[in-house]
Structure 1
């Protein structure tokens, strides 16, 4: 990795040097080196100015400089990248961020930062239906050539990344900790696969642990990278809605998936729709927004055309298209005795058209 990153690393690793003040300084500085060469020239708090002087005096013995060298050494490994504000790989979309990161840590394919991206965010505790919709939407968008960008969390985030990878598409996971830390632990294998096929990204230096305040800030990166944002299942008080708020402030279009009004996890999506977000009725709503060719992903009607469905089986699939439900609810909806549903349900399950979960049946 080129030594040109070293001044930026030394800058971003200075403790308590907020991004707002950093961006104010960029109006005065020609280069990051100038910050260290003439610390008395710039409008700085006394504590920061003293740190700069100490770094000049101690050189490589100063803790900040030693830490910067450690970060630089990490980037010498293949597929490890440090991307500063002045690098060609730095995302063009970040021009809309007033508090854009000065430095990014990346693992995988940094060229994806320049690709057309759609952000997909939602509940960590998504319903089976929410996960299914996330997987279908992500897979079709990835097959249409869009990069799927999300936050690497459990639930909707993980489902969107997994679906993009399954489709041999592109995906970016923006983390709220250093790239050398796996959080959440359950996603270790997923992160490894993303690093091999897509991109792991963070604005946090190596060894930075996940802290509650990191994730709201991480969300502005997701929306900042994305050309449009899809929200799938979000409670009214949730980190997902902070991502949507960032997207609104950045002038991005938002698509929200509607759902059952009795489920609290859908309230945030409905609120966004009331406030002007696009109602996401079909994945092609997003594809047309990007003016791409329709997805190559199969249409469900085409999927079932080779499998002869009885009227009862067609009714079962129509019921489950709205939400997953147990056999008792299906019997009530279809006005059929439960015993009459057992064989049709088994045949549909064997055909791969639906799945049985502890909470009932849902479409595959």
Structure 2
């Protein structure tokens, strides 16, 4: 939506105006598309509520017109008041389409969120950023790649945008926190909730050092349909989207498709032809995504040379070793060739037990030993 539709304010929205925005979005039948249509036709929310039913009816129909001019019920009024109290707390922000702090990048996408709930460093939303996404059920190497690429890009000055899911998203945020670019988590629930619960500690660190963003009202639980929808914000905030690992039906491909539709660059890390989690990346590369082997490939594609030693920083990703991870040997092995020492570290096993496990897997025809003593999964 062009930013000329709304005249952005110079300062944060006063409480009475913010209450009107909250009331608009809590009106039964009014979603983001309807709200944008009303705002484009009548102006700011208080002007919508000052309009009569006949005029409103021409834009939204009879039922919604009457709902707009009726007072919010007790539950909705309580939510409005709770939201105002939340936004008044240190580090919390509610930003509207008419606010100067609204991210300029999102004004250029077809369906910008009407409101954003933000916890943490709001300045990151106007900073150059890269989205890093991928599978929740990532391999050990995929997790390592996500963390290393994200750390390198963050050191180069990019904020790392992801969705705070398990697997690649969590690793991307961890990597982003290592550099001064930091990280932005776009979530699919109300901002007062943490989902999944296993990422609670990570969420607290992001709120302190980066920022968390949601378009959903306080208290909105994890609803399946909300997560694909939030992907347009992940890609919309970023100059490009990097897909680390993805199956053919992965939600990460939705983010990549939205990035292409929004005019953003798409990047993908290739993997083994035997890995299901590489097939989505390979499909993206066939469709025109840039194949990348290091963070430097991304920096060069974006012609980003603002930070000295960016070339050296970019080499971090290609030489990384996955963090220690307890789990089956096959899971820790992934689909790339790996040596026994690395496997022992990933599985936290002693070498005697590991070699016994490797022998059984080799006899079962599930792995093979390569020249040089490395192993590769073949099942």
Whether 2:87 is the aligned partner of 1:35: answer no
What's 1:64 paired with?
A: 76
Q: 1:325 to 1:213 in 2, by over 3 A?
A: farther
Whether 2:259 is the aligned partner of 1:247: answer yes
Moved more, 273-282 or 150-159: 273-282
Aligned match of 2:65 in 13, 33, 49? 49
The DSSP-based 3-state class of the residue aligned with 2:60 is coil
Q: 1:14 to 1:255 in 2, by over 3 A?
A: same
What's 2:23 paired with?
A: 10
What TM-score does the superposition give when structure 1 sets the normalisation length?
0.82
Cα deviation for residue 335 of structure 1 reads 4.8
Name the CA distance, whole Å, in 2 between partners of 1:251 and 1:211. 28
What's 2:370 paired with?
A: 333
Aligned length in residues: 322
What's 2:193 paired with?
A: 181
What's 1:112 paired with?
A: 124
Name the CA distance, whole Å, in 2 between partners of 1:102 and 1:301. 37
Q: 1:299 to 1:100 in 2, by over 3 A?
A: closer
The runs of at least 4 consecutive aligned structure 1 residues that moved more than 6 Å come to 300-304
Aligned partners of 1:84 and 1:102 also within 8 Å: yes
| Paired residues for 1:1-364 under 5 Å | 2-3=14-15, 4-40=17-53, 41-42=55-56, 43-55=59-71, 62-290=74-302, 291-292=304-305, 293=307, 294-295=310-311, 297=313, 299=315, 323-324=337-338, 332-335=369-372
Structure 1, unmatched stretches of 5+, are: 305-318, 342-358
Aligned partners of 1:171 and 1:199 also within 8 Å: yes
Aligned partners of 1:129 and 1:323 also within 8 Å: no
Q: 1:298 to 1:64 in 2, by over 3 A?
A: closer
What TM-score does the superposition give when structure 2 sets the normalisation length?
0.78
Task: Please tell me the root mean square deviation across aligned C-alpha atoms, in Å.
Answer: 2.8
Aligned partners of 1:143 and 1:296 also within 8 Å: no
Cα deviation for residue 8 of structure 1 reads 1.0
Name the CA distance, whole Å, in 1 between partners of 2:105 and 2:289. 21
The DSSP-based 3-state class of the residue aligned with 1:26 is helix
Name the CA distance, whole Å, in 2 between partners of 1:235 and 1:322. 16
Q: 1:112 to 1:135 in 2, by over 3 A?
A: same
Cα deviation for residue 67 of structure 1 reads 1.9
Cα deviation for residue 322 of structure 1 reads 5.1
Cα deviation 1:185-214 (Å, max 9, x = unaligned) = 000000000000000000001101010000
The DSSP-based 3-state class of the residue aligned with 2:112 is coil
Moved more, 327-336 or 42-51: 327-336
Name the CA distance, whole Å, in 2 between partners of 1:155 and 1:53. 46
Q: 1:298 to 1:224 in 2, by over 3 A?
A: closer
Structure 2, unmatched stretches of 5+, are: 1-11, 321-332, 341-354
Cα deviation 1:280-323 (Å, max 9, x = unaligned) = 1221011123312415538469999xxxxxxxxxxxxxx99954
Q: 1:300 to 1:32 in 2, by over 3 A?
A: closer
What's 2:343 paired with?
A: none
